[in-house]
Amino acid sequence: MYIVMLGAPGTGKGTIGKILSNDLNLVHVSTGDIFREQIAKGTKLGKKIQSYIDTGALVPDDVTIETVKSRLLEDDVKDGAILDGFPRTAAQAEALKGFLKENKPNAKRVAVELDVPDDEIIKRVVNRLICTNKSCGAIYNKETKPPKEEGICDICGSELKKRKDDNVETVTKRLEIYHQNSKELIDFYKKNNALYSIYPKELDVAVANIKNFLDEYRRK
């Protein structure tokens, strides 16, 4: 099953995506993580996309689509994946549809939309701290979910950092871009796939509801 996580930045796509990935044994594929890794490694792709990420703009569709297609051809995602942060435009959604139709014609496809009010998103994002250990990647919030020891991950003991683009100015731009594309994207998934929308107010409740929906969908 391929699960597309839709939602503005800071709605919990990463947090919920990682929990679902563990519980459902599906690889979590985040375009943001892939791009940040390329930047950190200083690759040709990383250099090309850095300015988009730093300013909160979208990386161009052609670059993003190619990146995702080559990731989805890898062996660990041959039976499914959780896509976090992709698609973000109607063109990306069309490209994904075409790719899956051609390469995984029997795979189930479903979309989950996390819908959170903008003012809450801004608070979540500017207070977000992320574990620098890539294989952990735990997400904290300075106000609502602080680590036990300041700056240190409870789970693996690695350093916690703020993402460079998690500031009010950039998140406002990211939200604006999200709202420009979201209606078209949501309509696309309503038409083409099963779509489940939820306001993830409490994490445990949201995860349980999403898992129920996915279970029912899988049995159909």
Give whichever of 31 and 206 is closer to ligand AMP, judged by the CB atom.
Answer: 31
Helices (H), 42-167: 44-55, 61-72, 90-103, 118-126
Residue 127's contacts (CB-CB under 8 Å, 6 or more residues apart) are: 141, 142, 143, 144
Binding mask 61-90 for ligand AMP (x = CB under 6 A): ---x--------------------xxxx--
Q: Which of 69, 142, 163, 211 is catalytic?
A: 163
188 binds ligand AMP (CB under 6 A): no
Q: Could you tell me the smallest distance in angstroms from the CB atom of residue 94 to ligand AMP? A: 13
Spatial CA neighbour of 116 closest among 195, 199, 18? 199
**Three-state SS for 188?**
helix
Query: How many C-beta atoms lie closer than 10 Å to residue 205's C-beta?
Result: 11
Residue 59 interacting with ligand AMP (CB under 6 A): yes
Total residues contacting ligand AMP by CB under 6 A comes to 18
Q: Return the beta strands (E) in the chain as ranges.
A: 2-7, 27-30, 81-84, 109-114, 128-131, 139-141, 160-161, 194-198
9 binds ligand AMP (CB under 6 A): yes
Q: Does 53 bind ligand AMP (CB under 6 A)?
A: yes
Catalytic residue among 13, 18, 36, 109: 13
Residues lying near ligand AMP in the complex (CB under 6 A) are found at 9, 31-32, 35, 52-53, 56-59, 64, 85-88, 92, 165, 174
